[in-house]
Amino acid sequence: MTTGSVRVRRAVGALVAVLAAVLGVLGGAGTASAHAALVSTGPAQESVVPRPPSAVTLTFGEGVTLPADSLRVFDPAGGRVDAGAPGHPGGRADTVRVALRGGLADGTYTVAWRVVSEDSHPLGGAFTFSVGAPSAGSVPAAALRGPRTDGLVAFLYGTGRAVAYAAFALLAGAVAFVLVCWPAGASVPQVQRLLAAGWIGLLGSTVVLMMLRGPYEQGGGIAPSADPASAHVHVPVDERIYLALAARLLLLAAGGVFLVLLVGQLGRPGTEAAGRSRSRLGTAGLALAVGLSATWVVTDHSSEGAQVWLALPVTALHLLAMAAWLGGLATLAAGLRQGIVPAAVERFSRVALVSVTVLVLTGLYRSWREVGSWGALSGTGYGRLLLVKIGCVALMVAAAWVSRSRLARLRTGAEAREGGSARAGLRRSVLAESAVAVVVLAVTTVLTSSPPGRTASAAGGSAPRSTAAPAADAAPGRTATLRIPFDTGGRTANARGTATVVLVPAAAGGWTVRLRLAEAGGGPADEPEVRLAFTLPARDLGPLRPALRRDGAGRWSGAVRLAPAGDWTVAVTVRSSDIDEATSARQLTVGG
């Protein structure tokens, strides 16, 4: 065994040890088991309590972190009555509590909340409760909006995420191309520059994301706040995304050593030692790629919701297949200018075919899991973005077929007869694939930062499907009735019908809600789950979700307070089976 081979074996062993440590850190971070929906509040929403409470408590379906001003309580006049910073009572990550000032007067109090779920997405809402008896409220709409992420911070953070995805695809795909398709490419300067660009881009974007995560969560700017109070706001540094980014930096340090070994060993092809090094480097490279993909997987949509045990590996496969295809395309484009042999192009063609197959299969599962229904596919922002991504991938597949036909001309000797036109044509089709790949990466970045279609439909405030019916009016002292057709896309009798929402005036600006669901044939639609949400888009208020109690087959009732006046959106979410769900909406004008 040569001295160089021994060094490679030892280096690979060290890389595997580092990977094991990193995966241990990520494994200890845990995964979420449900969406970060608001489960309960204390006092209860729309309740009337006889005495002022000492605190307000919110419980969510999963652990949450607390940005600045995450929980604010306003009295009937719009003044703040919360005292001190909100926190997690008893160390429970899914529970948030803030103390209230003493001596609160009777009347209706408004609670506005904003948290960050375990999959890194911000959530927010508002609700009311009353002490003694309900009263009219005058909480400023601006106060209910909560802190906003600085525009520059949001732009830089989004750009950093996009660069990270692109750099990972370039790095992992170029390494796979060299190891599987073109070992001699390790000695080509253009390929070496691609490897370096991927590594540097991923390293730099990861550092930027770590620096911007605090301001992004807290709704602050890049420069430190001049407000002395905000200077002491706790920025959570132990959140799972920080662990994932730190693990990514550690893996990149090991990846730098790996790249040096890759170029140094495969840059001398033709020896038995180089062949053994290629096998060991392939094992280490796969381990590093899986570890890097895990730093995304444990913080995105796959880490929460249903079937987490299956969603995590499926998402990792999806990400790795994307990198093998897109990063390999970039390397192939460089190789076509450097005299790459047709056999290497043929090998990549087979790799690309496997990658596309994996992308389609894993994409189908992810689409079903994260969209949830046909209605959410066209009725939510997430679903529409997913349709754009599917269209772009279809264009890439079409370009790939063109590339395969031009590759066949290279194999049959057309290259020599046509004076290089076959190679030039292949280069053009590969560049076309690469151009569409940039769009796919951009859409993927937006998708990972958007609430899934299933969650958006559940929230009732993310572009629900509207009906053609005109808006209804809810004048003071008068009952309002809204009829909202629904269609979950299922095949059962309760999958389509009409939801009738009746709002009856109650004391001090409140409304009693009566919900009746009827099947298309007119009978009651007894659904497994029904949700209502009220949103005031003009003032960025809501969604307000009244607690519904079942009054019989196809009937529910609850209470809600719709203040201030304006054009409210009433969204009805109907789930007719385990997988069929849809949200429909209609406008309700509430008078002053």
Q: What is the pLDDT of residue 230?
A: 44
Lowest-pLDDT range, 55-59, 237-241, 263-267, 367-371?
237-241
Lowest-pLDDT range, 237-246, 297-306, 314-323, 402-411?
402-411
Quick one: average pLDDT of 455-466? Answer: 44
Share of the chain above pLDDT 90, in %: 20
Distance in angstroms (rounded) separating the CA atoms of residues 366 and 448:
12
DSSP state of 524: B
Does the pLDDT at position 74 exceed 80?
yes
What are the structure tokens assigned to 526, written together? 């007894």
Does the pLDDT at position 435 exceed 70?
yes
CA quadruple 58, 64, 67, 72: dihedral, nearest 10: -10
SS3 state at 584: strand
- Encode burial over 112-140: b for 16+ CB neighbours within 10 A, e otherwise: bbbbbbbbbbbbbbbbbbbbeebbebebe
Lowest-pLDDT range, 71-75, 109-113, 415-419?
415-419
Quick one: average pLDDT of 474-499? Answer: 80
Distance in angstroms (rounded) separating the CA atoms of residues 113 and 214:
18
- Encode burial over 290-323: b for 16+ CB neighbours within 10 A, e otherwise: bbbbbbbbbbbbbbbbeeeeebbebbbbbbbbbb
Distance in angstroms (rounded) separating the CA atoms of residues 188 and 106:
77
Cα torsion 256, 447, 451, 390: sign: negative
Q: What is the pLDDT of residue 188?
A: 92
The pTM (predicted TM-score) of the whole model is 0.62
Q: What is the pLDDT of residue 459?
A: 46
Higher pLDDT, 474 or 58: 58
Cis peptide before 67 (omega within 30 of 0): no
Quick one: average pLDDT of 196-206? Answer: 96
Higher pLDDT, 88 or 36: 88
The pLDDT tens digits for 521-546 are 778 888 888 889 888 877 667 678 88
Higher pLDDT, 273 or 175: 175
Please list, in sequence order, all residues whose beta carbon lies within 8 angstroms of the beta carbon of residue 292, skipping any fewer than 6 positions away: 168, 172, 202, 248, 251, 252, 255
The pLDDT tens digits for 249-278 are 999 999 999 999 999 888 665 555 556 778
Distance in angstroms (rounded) separating the CA atoms of residues 284 and 390:
32
DSSP state of 177: I
